[in-house]
Structures are given as C-alpha cells and as structure tokens.
C-alpha cells in the first residue's frame, strides 16, 4: 500500500470529544496562533486520527499564514494586503471550525503542508 492510499483511508466517525478538540485546534488559533494546534497535536496525535489530522491541518495553515504575512510585510503594497489576508484567514478558520464540528475533515486552500 503506497503512502497516498494511507492518507485517503477513512478515519471513521469521530466522537463528540474528538470533534470538540478538532474545533478547538482551529478556533484557538484566533487568540494564540500556532501554539494551540501544536499543543493539541502533540498531546492527542496518538489518541485520535481525526484530532491529529485537523490539528496538523490547522498548524500548517498557521505556519503558512505567518510566512505569507512576513513575505507581504517586506513591501509597501504587501503591507496593505496583510489585513485582507487576515480577514480571509478568519473566514477559513470559521469554515474549518464548523466542518470539524460536523465531524468532517477540512482542508484549507492554499495551505503548505509542512507537517504530514
């Protein structure tokens, strides 16, 4: 079985607690950035595939967002684009939180997956 097949296997229906932790891995990024999904991932990675998957996705998005903001901050025009980028990121975080609450895997668009 190749690596892509493993990634595409269904991870089963998540429990209520798993959904809550997955939602927290997305929502808490609004207040504390990448710290929340990192802690959740490190604590729960071996206990639940769903939490691990969503925490990694959230962590990767926060790393991607941070790098994008740093790159944009280098130019004057880029500085003007940081706020719209953060608003779009907030919308994606809300969508991810709702989808995780429904027990569905969410993939952020334009996300670089540093942690696999």
Chain centroid, CA 105 distance in Å: 10
**Cα–Cα distance for residue pair 87/13, rounded to 1 Å:** 31
Cβ(44)–Cβ(15) under 8 Å? no
Is pTM beyond 0.75? Reply is yes
**Cα–Cα distance for residue pair 55/25, rounded to 1 Å:** 5
**What is the residue-level pLDDT of the chain in tens, covering all 116 positions?**
444 444 444 556 889 999 999 999 999 999 999 999 999 999 999 999 999 999 999 999 999 999 999 999 998 888 899 999 999 999 999 999 999 999 999 999 989 888 88
Cβ(59)–Cβ(41) under 8 Å? yes
Cβ(48)–Cβ(21) under 8 Å? yes
């Amino acid at each position: 079985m190749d690596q892509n097949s493993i990634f595409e296997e269904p991870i089963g229906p998540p429990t209520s607690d798993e959904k809550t932790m997955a939602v927290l891995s997305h929502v808490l990024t609004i207040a504390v950035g990448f710290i929340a999904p990192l802690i959740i991932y490190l604590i729960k990675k071996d206990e639940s595939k769903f939490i691990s998957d969503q925490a990694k996705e959230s962590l990767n998005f926060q790393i991607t967002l941070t790098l994008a903001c740093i790159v944009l901050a280098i130019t004057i025009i880029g500085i003007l684009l940081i706020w719209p980028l953060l608003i779009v990121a907030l919308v994606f975080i809300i969508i991810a939180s709702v989808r995780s609450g429904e027990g569905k895997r969410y993939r952020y668009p334009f996300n670089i997956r540093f942690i696999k």
